[in-house]
Structure 1
Amino acid sequence: SILVFQFKSGIKSEGDFIQIPPLSDTNWWKGTSKGRTGLIPSNYVAEQAESIDNPLHEAAKRGNLSWLRECLDNRVGVNGLDKAGSTALYWACHGGHKDIVDMLFTQPNIELNQQNKLGDTALHAAAWKGYADIVQLLLAKGARTDLRNNEKKLALDMATNAACASLLKKKQGTDAVRTLSNAEDYLDDEDSD
């Protein structure tokens, strides 16, 4: 759990989120803002601080690229799950934040096929919300089109516009052709008895 404090200042160059991880000394908290780290008196922010359990998810939901970068710089886990079982990538796709999706894809080992508690993936979210540019990006990165959610729906079934549906149908078609061509390799006459 990380505390987040939004500092309001009369100076234009100030005013941003400060991430405050727990510290053993209750009088001073270590805080990070815009890549700079320092100690902050606990009584300075205690009354106005908001605890955020999943800061990377919140940054992704809000489309806040600088906050997302700060979370990644502070090694917040890119594949962490929130209470709904969703990843930050899911929320970025749900919100149509392509710049956030692009940034998350720079992280090694990002899981793009993680299903949340409803069985939805990032691809389901992008298709349902109608973000064809994000659907295309997810497919290019290898998102699976064969995953069904708890209602037995594919991302294609949830597509709300023709552009998303077309991209998903095209991808499913190429996957089906690939599967058939692989099956033919096993039907060679030499293998039959």
Structure 2
Amino acid sequence: IDTNWWKGTSKGRTGLIPSNYVAEQAESIDNPLHEAAKRGNLSWLRECLDNRVGVNGLDKAGSTALYWACHGGHKDIVEMLFTQPNIELNQQNKLGDTALHAAAWKGYADIVQLLLEKGARTDLRNNEKKLAFDMATNAACASLLKKKQGTDAVRTLSNAEDYLDDEDSD
């Protein structure tokens, strides 16, 4: 009730802070679950889920929190998101990429494996007509995806190699 004191929480502890020690910020975060997933902040993610923030909500790019957790390599966040009922594994963003595309492109084989175990589709192509397999930037991810696809497809250039030309390879 006293305006000279504000309630604050840091590292799981809540207490009172003199109001002249902090500045009020009017900015808000449009997609807090996405931000928690991007940053790998498990406690913030739990807080969002406890407050029933929609797990399949899309940001401006059409991406889900699961996509951003996979893009950032935050396996603990991915696992926490999988505890939510009806989580959408195969949502494609505006570029056509799925969480599996992101994990493969960033080279997170442990997350690729987890997504595949949960039933992520390997046949979805992004706007560049690439499968997650085509986006794989390391052998471990490519091997997992190839095994799941059950094909003998020849691996194409990785996404990273697509952007290198002879001048850049020096």
1:154, distance to aligned residue in structure 2 (A): 0.1
What is the RMSD computed on CA atoms of the aligned residues? Answer: 12.7
Structure 2: gaps of 5 or more residues:
none
Contact 1:31 1:37 in 2 (8 A): yes
Shift in alpha-carbon separation, 1:30–1:115, aligned structure 2, 3 A: farther
Cα 1:189–1:115 change in 2 (3 A) is closer
Within 1, Cα distance between the matches of 2:136 and 2:157? 26
Post-superposition offset of 1:150: 0.3
Instruction: Provide closer, same or farther for how the CA distance between residues 46 and 145 of structure 1 changes in structure 2, counting only shifts above 3 A.
Output: same
Query: Once the 2 structures are TM-superposed, how far is the Cα of residue 45 of structure 1 from its aligned partner?
Result: 7.6
Aligned residue pairs, count: 169
Using the TM superposition, give the Cα deviation of residue 48 of structure 1 relative to its aligned residue in structure 2, in angstroms.
2.2
Shift of 1:31: 9.5
CA–CA distance in structure 2, aligned partners of residues 138 and 32 of structure 1? 34
The corresponding residue for 1:133 is: 110
Judge conservation of contact 1:80–1:87 (CA < 8 Å) in 2.
Answer: yes
TM alignment of 1:1-193, pairs within 5 A:
47-173=24-150
Query: Judging changes above 3 Å, is the alpha-carbon distance between structure 1 residues 111 and 31 closer, same or farther for their aligned structure 2 residues?
Result: farther
8 Å Cα contact 1:35/1:70 also seen in 2: no
On the 8 A contact 1:33/1:70 being kept in 2, the answer is: no
Would the alpha carbon gap of residues 174 and 52 (structure 1) be closer, same or farther in structure 2, given more than 3 Å must change? same
The answer to whether the Cα contact below 8 Å between 2:134 and 2:159 also exists between their aligned partners in 1 is no
Structure 1 residue runs without a partner (length 5+): 1-24
Partners in 1 of 2:29 and 2:169 — Cα distance?
62
Q: Quick check: which has more Rg, 1 or 2?
A: 1
Displacement of 1:30 in angstroms is 11
1:50 positional shift? 2.7
- Contact 2:112–2:141, Cα closer than 8 Å, also in 1: yes
Distance 1:46-1:171 versus aligned 2 partners, 3 A rule:
same
After the TM superposition, which of the residue ranges 30-39 and 166-175 deviates more from structure 2? 30-39
Looking at both structures, which has the greater relative contact order when contacts are Cα pairs under 8 Å and sequence separation is at least 6? 2
Alignment TM-score, normalising by the size of structure 2: 0.77
Distance 1:39 1:152, change over 3 A: farther
Maintained 8 Å contact 1:34/1:70: no
